[in-house]
Structure 1
Amino acid sequence: MDNLLKSIFSSEEEELYVLDCLAYFMMFMALATFFTLLFENVPYGRYASSKYGFPVNVKLAWFIQELPAFCIPLGLVFWTSSAKSSQLANQLLLAMYFCHYVQRALIYPFLIRGGKSTPFASFALAFLFCLYNGYMQTRYLSHYADYPPDWVTHPCFITGSLLWLLGWITNVHSDHVLRNLRKPGETGYKIPRGGLFEYISGANFFGEIVEWAGFALAGFSIHSAAFALFTFVVLSSRAVSHHKWYLTKFEDYPKSRKALVPFVF
């Protein structure tokens, strides 16, 4: 893989410049996505539509679209000269990243029960995003990110790491709650209960937003910040849409629940 990267970039300075550009472009895309989502929901799940292409089996879609976020980083860490991956801060940040995507790519798709097929356009865009972001995050952390020797004891790293852990646990638990809403053979939607779902409609989205916000704080780079911003834009919009949908769908939906942030919003 080193030879492949050397054939693409003439120097490490050029690659780092490209990584920075990718991060700023992701921030631009987050802004464009924010305005787009004011008028249109991301078309998968309950908002799936045939106008976005032929349907792809939901388990297959999740597995394939998330796989680049695991496989590309794996290659970048183990099959390139990962100059910075021996440093503790870099190792811990890479571990956070891989912990999420091992669960999301290799475990989560096979736990899905039912679920609507994913339109091809949504599937393809998710695949490209995972490819893009997987390269950007792990190449920066494994080869370029240079932290002070005591960075792992810095308040930003400690606070960010704790937020990441809290968000990851919340996200995984909330997915478990959603999977177990229906008994075997049941169809249709139900009101989620338990955990943070007692307070917000988008507990799973809240967990993932907190997770990547913590990662951004611990990583303290434009690359991790861009990922956190993009995640926030997409998932906060989805949480608000779900909240409105629940209120319309169920007359007995708890009126005290907020959309995304407990007691606030």
Structure 2
Amino acid sequence: MDALISRLFSSEEEELYILDCLAYFMVFMAACTFVTLLFENVPYGRYATSKYGFPVNVRFAWFVQELPAFLLPLCLVVWTSAAKTSLLPNQLIIAMYFCHYVQRSLIYPFLIRGGKPTPFASFALAFVFCIYNGYMQIRYLSHYAHYPADWVTHPCFIAGGMFEYVSGANFLGEITEWAGFALAGHSVHSSAFALFTTVVLASRAVAHHKWYLAKFEDYPKSRKALIPFLL
């Protein structure tokens, strides 16, 4: 795989420049997505519509669209001269990434019961995004990211029980997860992914909250959508 990468980029400096460009482009796309989601929900799950293409079985869609986010990074770690994977900070941050996508791609799809089919456009865009982000995150972490030796000496942990306060505690958890990933990764690449995730999931949390309030008369009016006591 090193031979393929060497054909694509003339030097490590060029590849790192491309990785930076990919990250900044993701920040730009996060801004565009934020504006779009002010007017329309992400078209999958309960918000799926036929105008975004023919339906794809939801379990198949989740498995296939998320799989590149696991397989491509695995190839980058195993079949390239990933110089930074011998360092503990890099190992831990890469492990954070893989823990998420092992569950998301290899476990979660087979736990789905029922569920609306996914429109093809959403499925295809998610597939492309997982390739894009999987390469950007793990190539940077495995080959370029450098952290001081004491980077992992002050870990922090977060407690649960947030569903009493917000409707989208699961979304808040994932936003927090990737915010922590971005802080640990300390790069524009991980920060871009965290920002993009926040934009999409915050919109979905607000949409779910409105749906619950409209659907259930006894739904707690004091409960917020995403951020306790605020939003």
Aligned 1:9-158 pairs, distance under 5 A = 9-153=9-153, 155=154, 158=155
Which fold has the larger relative contact order, with Cα–Cα distance below 8 Å and residues 6 or more apart in sequence? 2
Encode CA deviations 1:107-149: one digit per residue, 9 max, x unaligned.
0000011100000000011111111000000000000001112
Instruction: State the shift of 1:201 in Å.
Output: 1.0
What SS does structure 2 have at the residue aligned with 1:254? coil
Alignment of 1:233 onto 2:195 = no
Shift of 1:197: 2.3
Q: Please list every run of 5 or more consecutive structure 1 residues that lacks an aligned counterpart in the other structure.
A: 171-194
SS of alignment partner, residue 85 of structure 1? helix
Q: Deviation at 1:74?
A: 0.1
Task: Tell me, yes or no, if structure 1 residue 200 matches structure 2 residue 166.
Answer: yes
Amino acid at match of 1:245: W
Q: Distance in 2 between matches of 1:247 and 1:44?
A: 20
Measured after TM superposition, the shift of residue 78 of structure 1 is 0.5
Q: Secondary structure at the match of 2:221?
A: coil
> Residue 19 of structure 2 aligns to which amino acid in structure 1?
L
1:140-186 residue CA offsets vs partner (Å, 9 max, x unmatched):
00000011122222x5xx24xx35xx6xxx6xxxxxxxxxxxxxxxx
Identify unmatched segments of 5+ residues in structure 2.
none
1:220 partnered with 2:186: yes
CA distance in 2, matches of 1:70, 1:262: 33
Matched residue, 1:186: none
Q: Matches of 2:162 and 2:56 in 1, distance apart? A: 31
Task: Give the length in aligned residue pairs.
Answer: 231
User: Cα RMSD between the aligned structures?
Assistant: 1.1
Q: TM-score, normalised by structure 1?
A: 0.85
Please give the per-residue CA displacement for 1:25-68, whole angstroms capped at 9, x wherever unaligned: 00000000000101111000010000000000000000000000
Between the aligned partners of 1:119 and 1:107, the Cα distance in structure 2 is 21
Paired-residue identity, %: 77
User: Which runs of structure 1 show a deviation greater than 3 angstroms over 4 or more consecutive aligned residues?
Assistant: none
Q: Which stretch shows the higher mean deviation, 143-152 or 79-88?
A: 143-152
1:185 is aligned to none
Q: CA deviation at 1:199?
A: 1.7
The one-character-per-residue Cα deviations of 1:61-96 (angstroms, maximum 9, x if unpaired) are 000000000000000000000011100000000000
Shift of 1:263: 2.3
For 2:150 and 2:221, locate their aligned partners in 1 and report how far apart those are by CA, in whole Å.
47
Shift of 1:200: 1.1
Q: Which amino acid aligns with 1:60?
A: F
In structure 2, the partner of 1:180 is: none
Q: Which residue of 2 aligns with 1:176?
A: none
Q: What is the CA deviation profile of residues 223-255 of structure 1, one whole-angstrom value per residue up to 9, with x for unaligned ones?
A: 111010000000000100111111111111111
Query: Structure 2 length normalisation: TM-score?
Result: 0.97
Which amino acid is the alignment partner of residue 229 of structure 2?
F
Taking the aligned partners of 1:128 and 1:150, their CA distance within structure 2 comes to 36
1:242 pairs with 2:208: yes
